[in-house]
Amino acid sequence: MSTPSDEALLAAHLRGDPRAFGELVARHERRIYGLCLRILGNREDAEDATQEAFLAALRKAASFRRAAAFSTWLYRIAVNAATDQARRRGRARLAALDPEDAGLAVAPGGELGEVVASAVAVQTALAQVPEEFRVAVVLCDLYRVPYADAAQILEVPVGTVKSRVFRGRLALAEHLGGAPPDAEPARPPLRVAGPPGTDPRSATSEPTEPNHPGQE
């Protein structure tokens, strides 16, 4: 039996299936928590934003339109929840990134310690990048969301997304140790782990993110 799509599960929820929305939460919770963690830099705030995102998705389920993928719609809600959370507390509250929060894949021949150190350095630097640039970098560079989809999530033109990513990379490179001012900034040296055999660019199989604490 084939696995139902996100859109099919949402439709089942709207028809009254009591299990459908719970399956959507189970399917996407780790990724949404990871997205909020990258934006907020703090585990507790990320948990709160994740909860708010799914509550908002539940309230807005009937407003979903198939003009965008379910994941794009959910990411938009999660980004809004994370940025609202950031504004409520006023500033970034960076906490140490635990290895379990890093959720990283180690390249063949690589060392876990090096990968975690790289993750901590990137997360620390991300917290110093202005919010609108940080969100664009997280979506496009860490989550590999295409520019067109990121534009839908952020509700801005594609050109604005590209500009924010470029400026975010510049700021991130500066905080990571500097880069020539005329050089094209490289993508952050951080790879988000995913289940073996998955394509991180897939609209329905985004990269796997850190475990949501307390949801094991």
- What distance lies between CA 186 and its chain's CA centroid? 19
Contacts of 47-52 with C-beta under 8 Å, sequence gap 24+, read 47/212, 47/213, 47/214, 48/85, 49/78, 49/81, 49/82, 49/84, 49/85, 50/78, 50/81, 50/212, 52/81, 52/84, 52/85
| Residue appearing with tokens 């809004």 | 80
What are the structural domain ranges in the chain?
A: 6-175
List Cα–Cα distances, 92 to 33, 115, 148, in angstroms: 16, 23, 28
What is 6-175's CATH number? Answer: 1.10.1740.10
C-alpha span between 160 and 106 (Å, rounded): 33
pTM (global) more than 0.75: no
C-alpha span between 99 and 116 (Å, rounded): 6
DSSP for residue 203:
S
Tens digit of pLDDT at every position of the chain (216 positions): 689 999 999 999 999 999 999 999 999 999 999 999 999 988 899 999 999 999 999 999 999 988 789 999 999 999 999 999 988 876 555 554 554 454 444 445 555 455 555 666 778 888 889 999 999 999 999 999 999 999 999 999 999 999 999 999 999 999 887 554 444 555 554 444 333 333 433 444 343 344 444 444
Q: Strand runs (DSSP E) across 125-178, as ranges?
A: none
pLDDT at position 192: 42
| Residue appearing with tokens 């924010």 | 164
pLDDT at position 119: 64
C-alpha span between 53 and 68 (Å, rounded): 18
